[in-house]
Amino acid sequence: MDDTVLLTGAGGSVGTAILEGIGDAYDWRLLFHNPPVDEPDHPYLVGDVIDEETMAEACEGVGAIIHLAGDPRRDAPWDSVLENNIHGTKVTYQAAVDAGVDRLVFASSNHAVGHFETDRRPKLYRVEGEFTLDGTELPRPGNFYGVSKVAGETLGRYYHDEYGVDVCNIRIGNLTRNHPPVDYERGQAMWLSYRDCAHLHDCALQADYDYEIVYGISDNDRKYYSIERAKEVLGYEPRDNSAEFE
């Protein structure tokens, strides 16, 4: 992709992983909620995704968007996720459509399906566990943050069907810079390394698809999220495995 890519929420951990891994591969425009401490290597704006004027400016001349911005707290209160995550995603999609952007990669979350774990833990976190989620299941959010991610996926479905935007929803697992916590089975099962995170988002920018929901984890021995759809549709080839650190 030769067009500019807008990265919202550029200052968070996912944005950091993406820029560290594929920062030289694209012409980026970054959106920060707060002024960055260090001067970025790419053009940037400071503003809020709920602000229509900010998003109109951010999307001008853009070919694709990776939308990460929002309240990332898993215990975020309803008022915050409603405003920042749900309404902010709607504003982002509308700005994308108004600007003629035809692709949006949305940072969804494992929390969109959190209650699938409720009656199955801890067995599903283990290698011998047979239960698997592949993205075709109905959502079962485990908190209001998860509800907001389900809403974001549904907004993407609407904007794809109504306006033809290509949408890839990535249900991101447990992203850590180095290794997963060795004494935390759940964290190992849903671990996503920084380089696999960057590679997966690179694939989502490049692949041919219409509307997709995929899981964003590394190729862990322990896993109850299938990454087969990400491999098949996006060409995802993860390099890391949490078992290497056990």
Tens digit of each residue's pLDDT (9 = 90 or more) over 75-104? 999 999 999 999 999 999 999 999 999 999
Tens digit of each residue's pLDDT (9 = 90 or more) over 101-137? 999 999 999 999 999 999 898 888 888 878 999 999 9
Tens digit of each residue's pLDDT (9 = 90 or more) over 38-67? 899 999 999 999 999 999 999 999 999 999
d(CA 166, CA 64): 9
Task: Say yes or no to pLDDT of 181 above 90.
Answer: no
Domain ranges (residues) in the chain: 4-245
For position 30, what pLDDT does the model report?
98
**Burial tier of 131 (Cβ tally within 10 Å: 0-12, 13-18, 19+):** exposed
d(CA 34, CA 241): 34
How far, CA to CA in Å, does 64 sit from each of 28, 58, 105, 202?
10, 11, 8, 12
For residues 128 and 242, the model is more confident at 242
For position 135, what pLDDT does the model report?
95
Collect all residues with Cβ–Cβ distance below 8 Å to 119 and sequence separation of at least 6: none
For position 180, what pLDDT does the model report?
79
**Burial tier of 143 (Cβ tally within 10 Å: 0-12, 13-18, 19+):** middle
- Residues forming the active site: 145
Tens digit of each residue's pLDDT (9 = 90 or more) over 195-234? 999 999 999 999 999 999 999 999 999 899 999 999 999 9
For position 45, what pLDDT does the model report?
97
d(CA 69, CA 33): 8
For the chain, the maximum distance between any two Cα atoms, rounded to a whole number of angstroms, is 51
Of 112, 152, 143, nearest to 9 (Cα)? 152
What is 4-245's CATH number?
A: 3.40.50.720
